[in-house]
């Protein structure tokens, strides 16, 4: 039996220093309203984790969370996986913000809609890539991962806590972004232009749909352009949504660098 009982339905658990450092940075930079309640560390690794624990001790005093020694067994029981490095954080859950007006987005930015990604790991990989490309925020029609925030943070190398993620119907999002002067590009094949020939200068809202159902005709009709990812070989399939988002996002970066 673990020394501590944590209801994982009531709290988010973040594993490893990369994830926990991102949570701390998100709190300090007012990106998130999340609170760190407790951090458990493997008492047997107090010497080998000296620098990390010194940092966490300072932040525990600044942010008001408990830093608690625990056994290896306890850490394993509380964590979702085995690659936590002996340190986990118990944090409050936060509600996904709803995008309702243009004041929530920046001028001359780059945002991306991710639709149809149902696996938390694929979502995490997409977040990691679009963050690295310089995207300012992510829009999802329905957020499916409220009970997998720790997994997503870890899979995204902490970036899910550092980028704005909003929930919003795609058609409503298009109206909001267009009212802010953004052009809208949807990923697709029919009546499309190659991403390498498309004007992807900011301000831009890029819409990437799932590989199964793609993007609706209503969304395509409201878009300013349809862009496609060209393939180097004959390929009748499609990239995963996370892969397509990565390729497109870095072309946006290239054109705006």
| Domain extent listing, the chain | 11-92, 102-256
User: What pLDDT shows up at residue 230?
Assistant: 92
- Write the pLDDT tens digit of every residue in 74-102: 888 888 777 788 999 999 999 899 999 99
The correct answer on CATH 1.10.3470 for the domain covering 11-92 is no
Assess contact for 227 and 187: CB atoms under 8 A: yes
- CA-based radius of gyration for the chain: 20
Average pLDDT over residues 150-159: 94
Nearest to 247 by CA among 212, 184, 198: 198
Whole-prediction pTM value? 0.91
Distance of alpha carbon 147 from alpha carbon 92, whole angstroms: 12
DSSP one-letter code for 95: P
CATH architecture of 102-256: 3-Layer(aba) Sandwich (3.40)
3-state secondary structure of 223: coil
Q: What φ, ψ does residue 205 adopt, rounded to 5°?
A: -110, 120
């Amino acid at each position: 039996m673990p020394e501590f009982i944590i209801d994982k339905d009531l709290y988010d658990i973040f594993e490893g220093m990369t994830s926990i450092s991102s949570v701390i940075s998100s709190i300090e930079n007012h990106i998130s309203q999340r609170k760190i309640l407790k951090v458990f560390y493997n008492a047997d690794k107090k010497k080998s984790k000296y620098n990390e624990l010194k940092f966490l001790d300072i932040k525990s005093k600044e942010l008001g969370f408990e830093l608690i020694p625990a056994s290896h067994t306890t850490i394993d029981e509380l964590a979702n996986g085995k690659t936590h490095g002996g340190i986990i954080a118990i944090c409050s859950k936060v509600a996904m913000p709803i995008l309702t007006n243009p004041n929530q987005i920046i001028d001359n930015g780059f945002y991306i809609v991710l639709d149809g990604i149902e696996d938390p790991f694929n979502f995490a990989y997409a977040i990691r890539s679009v963050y690295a490309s310089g995207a300012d925020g992510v829009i999802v029609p329905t957020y499916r991962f409220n009970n997998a925030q720790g997994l997503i943070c870890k899979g995204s190398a902490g970036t899910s806590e550092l980028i704005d993620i909003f929930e919003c119907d795609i058609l409503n999002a298009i109206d909001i972004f267009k009212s802010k002067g953004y052009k809208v590009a949807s990923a697709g094949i029919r009546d499309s232009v190659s991403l390498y020939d498309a004007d992807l200068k900011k301000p831009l809202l890029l819409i990437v749909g799932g590989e199964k159902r793609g993007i609706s005709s209503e969304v395509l009709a409201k878009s300013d352009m349809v862009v496609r990812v060209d393939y180097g070989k004959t390929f009748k399939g499609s990239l995963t949504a996370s892969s397509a988002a990565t390729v497109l996002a870095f072309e946006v970066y290239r054109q705006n660098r």
